[in-house]
Structure 1
């Protein structure tokens, strides 16, 4: 009868053995990785380069851990990073990656979620969108910014969406300076201007709901 403990030891030894490092990611494998990422997520050219660079970095770490000479690892990783940029540029040329379309779709989605123009611009910048392109993607409609602020107010239960335990004892934000200032601070930290924040907090609830519903149709 086979020794079960010996069999389990052999299985543990096999699972503990380091995986072969293999060659550095080449252009073909990086293209496959890029397409697999795009099948699940939208991104920009710069974002795709970061995704592929992380893949290359993981390979380099495994190669170094396996004892490969550091200068050889870096030389192969450098070639792989150049290939990653070539892959990203080819996807842009093919129209698979489109920074303008990504920025417009992302800006629209974030506006509907209650993000301010300022916050959306910062978000797009972090995703590698050029400032001019980011500005062009932002909604110009003043009502859209107000509706986004109202969406934020509804999430935070301030302004027209403030929940009062006892309306007789708990005045509206506008009649309670401390509560009003706290609400203004919340909207300011979310990136809304003082004027937009004041308008949002003074909007009647029915009108606020109408503007938010309108925003959702963007």
Structure 2
């Protein structure tokens, strides 16, 4: 005898109050940006539909959450940039992450400048974590292993100059930051 699956009821289409409540629940649970909140509400509208003749007030809800301080793109950018820098990511990768999070140029500028100032420390953290250059067990030799380490640093968002200095350094000898 086969077990039949219960049919799920289609969720009720959203109205303005339900959409506002979804947005409020989302910002209460997650650190988010205006762009991410907008995407979340749009996705919910796509999934459940809209009940009403007028357009859904997505932009009004997003702006209201920002006005109340529930969504702060600048604080989000600074926190995300600092966390990525501690993990060893460079300014280019941090800028990409902020752009993907929906942070506009103005809100991400201070975080980008801080990431640029801490680029050497971030590169050292990445090299330490991946055992590259001064943190490697063996001296670097030209070949695939060196190229792989160089590529890893470049993918992490560091400049070629910083990556080359770290990859070419001897184990145990941490080089000074380039000017």
- TM-score, reference length from structure 1: 0.68
Q: 2:126 aligns with which of 133, 152, 155?
A: 152
Match of 1:122 in 2: 96
Shift in CA distance, 20/151, structure 1 to aligned 2, threshold 3 Å? same
Q: 1:182 aligns with which of 148, 167, 172?
A: 148
Count of matched residue positions in the alignment of Structure 1 and Structure 2: 174
Contact 1:56 1:77 in 2 (8 A): no
Match of 1:53 in 2: 42
Q: Tell me which structure has the larger Cα radius of gyration.
A: 1
3-state SS, counterpart of residue 53 of structure 1: helix
Q: 1:93 aligns with which of 67, 79, 84?
A: 67
Flag structure 2 segments of 5+ consecutive residues without an equivalent.
none
The 5-angstrom pairing of residues 16-165 of structure 1 reads: 16-22=6-12, 24-60=13-49, 76=52, 79-80=55-56, 83-140=57-114, 144-164=118-138
Q: CA RMSD in A?
A: 3.0
Contact 1:27 1:87 in 2 (8 A): no
Once residues 68 and 21 of structure 2 are traced to their aligned partners in structure 1, the CA distance between those partners, rounded to angstroms, is: 15
**More off after superposition, 198-207 vs 86-95:** 198-207
Contact 2:91 2:157 in 1 (8 A): yes
| Residues 109-147 of structure 1 deviation map (CA, whole Å, 9 limit, x = unaligned) | 111111111001011111111123323212447662112
- TM-score, reference length from structure 2: 0.81
